[in-house]
Structure 1
Amino acid sequence: MEVTQRAISRLVAQAGQMLLAHGAESALVSSIMRRVGLACGVDEVEVALSADALVVTTVMKGHCITTTRSCADRGINMRVVTEIQRICILLEKRILDLSMAKAKLDAISPERYNRWLVVAMIGLSCASFSRLAGGDWAVFLMTFIASACGMIVRQEIGHRHFNPLVNFAATAFVTTLISTQAVIFNIGNLPTVVMASSVLMLVPGFPLINSVADMLKGHTNMGIARFVMASLLTLATCLGIVGAMGITGVWGWMG
């Protein structure tokens, strides 16, 4: 019995660790961990979450096992989250047993889109915002170039595992440096819109949404931690933007 409970505890902890590392909100992490544990046969599952770790306790026939896992940030990836949810549902329906669930969990890989597709779509999305703000096609093109180049910088720095704050600051700096050329050379009808629209890719929307969701659902500590991290990312972005504006002397939409 103890061997089985230990295996269940490890499965529950692994599922929670993967969910937390890939950007799932705290209420979902706790819920999935409890459901996985109960579906595998334990009587009770208690979960405690923090910004970079989790603690899980399982109770089976009066016997308690507690385990702790650290949770490094692996980047937002909803494919991982949905795959773990599927495994949880299959466990509850008795389609999978403990060993099969473990094998499926180990097989999950955070697949990502082709990097050039991401660069193109980020460029188009930021450029579309410039059009919505009243910019002409010249503004659209400059915004596309600035945001696409910024995304390439962001990817390259990310691949080298730099601190996210450094990444956001450097990306904002390069993006703004390119977008200020629209103002310097008076490209398009609203060149300052290029500067405002090209850095929209750096808005930490997902962490901010998760932080509010966590606080509203009772996970106050997690919500505050995520809000602080999102605020620091915003600050790093602002520093990069101001640095580029200071060098070029173009204050654009801040002037």
Structure 2
Amino acid sequence: MYADSQNDITRQVVRVAQLLLAYGADSELVEEISQRLGLALGLGSVELSISSNSLVLTSLVHGRCITTTRRIREHGINMTIVCELQRICLLTEKGLYGLSEVRKRVNRIEPRSYPKRFLVPMIGLSCASFCHLFGGDITAILLTFIASSVGMLVRLFIAKHHVNLLVNFAITAFITVAIAQLGYHIDITATPKLPMAASVLMLVPGFPMINAISDMVKGHLNVGIARWGHATLLTMASVVGITMAMQLGGLL
């Protein structure tokens, strides 16, 4: 293999690893896909070192090593992109894709999200369903739906302006709870606590916590601890927003 070919393949493999990490794949999957893709494209071996915000990849072909480093910038969880990168790897292993086709497919990948008009009511419906499961009456369920829907709108609006995620969670939690606690101030429901509990469940960072535990169990302690710390900070930001709303409403 020519040096230029090894360079090109290494750049493409590290780009795939970078995208996998940026969109929420766990470290074990990133290592597996990177190694399989590199071998399928003709590399002798692929070694990957992952940290909380960067990765280092080394490719080896006939005793010649190339090492490259990339910075990781999180773009939010998007399993569609992770699945598409896995699909590209599988088709490359089957011999259907070469380097040029892999490059073309990866460059075409763009994150897609659900339209706001569908996402907001579905989030409201999911939180309202939790309120129902907790034993809330119909008014509490309706209040939960309104509070969580408005909160999701606020969250999307703030995210659109690229505000720090911790600030986003704190403001969203504040507004959501401020609306949900109306059940205490207006005698409209017999279960006023439940809307306050159910409406903020959309802010629970479940996926980051699952990834953090998965990384730590599989031996990627540094990345797992970093992800756990980030998820904990998001939870604390939500708690700050909830506490401020309850103090403002005289519930604390």
Report percent identity of matched pairs.
Answer: 49
Secondary structure of the residue aligned to 1:175 is helix
1:203 aligned to 2:209? no
Corresponding residue of 1:40: 41
Correspondences of 1:130-149 after superposition (within 5 Å): 130-149=131-150
Provide Cα deviations, 1:148-171, integer angstroms capped at 9, x if missing partner: 000000000101111110000000
Native 8 Å contact 1:184 1:250 kept in 2: no
Corresponding residue of 1:58: 59
AA in 2 matched with 1:29: V
For the residues of structure 1 that align with 2:27 and 2:10, how far apart are their CA atoms?
Answer: 19
1:192 aligned to 2:193? yes
Corresponding residue of 2:233: 232
Secondary structure of the residue aligned to 2:58 is strand
AA in 2 matched with 1:203: V
AA in 2 matched with 1:192: K
What TM-score, normalized to structure 2?
A: 0.99
Provide Cα deviations, 1:88-131, integer angstroms capped at 9, x if missing partner: 00000000000000100000111110012110110000000000
Unaligned runs of 5+ in 1: none
Secondary structure of the residue aligned to 1:9 is helix
Correspondences of 1:89-238 after superposition (within 5 Å): 89-238=90-239
For the residues of structure 2 that align with 1:222 and 1:186, how far apart are their CA atoms?
Answer: 48
Give the deviation of 1:186 after TM superposition: 2.4
Provide Cα deviations, 1:4-58, integer angstroms capped at 9, x if missing partner: 0000100111000100000001100111011110110010100000111111000
What TM-score, normalized to structure 1?
A: 0.97
Corresponding residue of 1:88: 89
For the residues of structure 2 that align with 1:229 and 1:208, how far apart are their CA atoms?
Answer: 9
Provide Cα deviations, 1:187-210, integer angstroms capped at 9, x if missing partner: 222011010000000000000000
AA in 2 matched with 1:43: G
Which runs of 4 or more aligned residues in structure 1 lie more than 2 Å from their structure 2 counterparts after TM superposition? none
AA in 2 matched with 1:224: I
Corresponding residue of 1:8: 9
AA in 1 matched with 2:179: I
AA in 1 matched with 2:245: A
Corresponding residue of 2:31: 30
Note the aligned Cα RMSD (angstroms). 0.7
Unaligned runs of 5+ in 2: none
Native 8 Å contact 1:84 1:105 kept in 2: yes
For the residues of structure 2 that align with 1:217 and 1:39, how far apart are their CA atoms?
Answer: 25
Range 190-199 or range 242-251, more displaced: 242-251
